[in-house]
Amino acid sequence: MDKQQDIRPGYYRHYKGGLYRVLGCARHTESLEHVVVYRALYGEGGLWVRPYSMFDETVIVDSHQQPRFEYLGETLPEEA
């Protein structure tokens, strides 16, 4: 599967609790590296880009492995 299809647009929760809206995927102009384009849903709502490999990786928190970003859905859940 093409990496750009792996990450669905929609709402995600970062493992530290922040909420984000993924707008889509893109490629770096020089390296052609796949990146994820997303906007923070807190503070000034900054627009961010993160390498696909980092966005999709898992992290260890309190001895438990979990995704760096958890997909919440196409719409923001009320409990989020």
First to last CA, the chain: 30
Instruction: Convert the pLDDT of each residue in 20-64 to its tens digit.
Output: 999 999 999 999 999 999 999 999 999 999 999 999 999 999 999
Q: Where do the structural domains in the chain lie, given as residue ranges?
A: 3-73
The mean pLDDT value for 7-30 works out to: 96
Cβ-based burial of 38 (10 A; exposed 0-12, middle 13-18, buried ≥19):
buried
pLDDT at 17 over 90: yes
pLDDT at 1 over 60: no
Q: Does domain 3-73 have CATH number 3.30.9.10?
A: no
